[in-house]
């Protein structure tokens, strides 16, 4: 099991809408993520920078690299594109974070 983290950017003023959409996350998206080996997925919001910090665990044999090809993931990205910084294909602009400390 590996823990990974990344940061994304929320457009100003959309914190509540972002939370609402995730409170109503589509069951088929949850299933797709779990089938790809994703678990224990959390996203935190930092208000002064509008940054979203995501942390998740993934199985050693995960298939996360295939998620951008998934129809439900593409649909979710389109659903979220109006409130986040995205690439032209609606994929969120995400920057991987490097672990510098860990305490169990």
Q: Which residues are catalytic?
A: 22
| 10, 45 contact by CB (below 8 A) | yes
**Residues forming beta bridges with residue 96, ordered by sequence position:** 6
* CA 5 distance to own-chain centroid: 9
């Amino acid at each position: 099991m590996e823990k990974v983290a990344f940061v994304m950017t929320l457009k100003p003023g959309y914190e509540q809408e972002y939370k609402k959409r995730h409170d109503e996350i589509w069951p088929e998206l949850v299933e797709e993520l779990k089938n790809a080996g994703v678990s224990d997925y959390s996203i935190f919001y930092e208000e002064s920078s509008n940054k979203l910090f995501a942390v998740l665990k993934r199985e050693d044999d995960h298939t996360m690299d295939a998620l951008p090809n998934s129809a439900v993931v593409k649909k979710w990205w389109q659903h979220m594109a109006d409130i986040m910084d995205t690439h032209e294909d609606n994929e969120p602009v995400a920057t991987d974070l490097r672990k510098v400390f860990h305490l169990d």
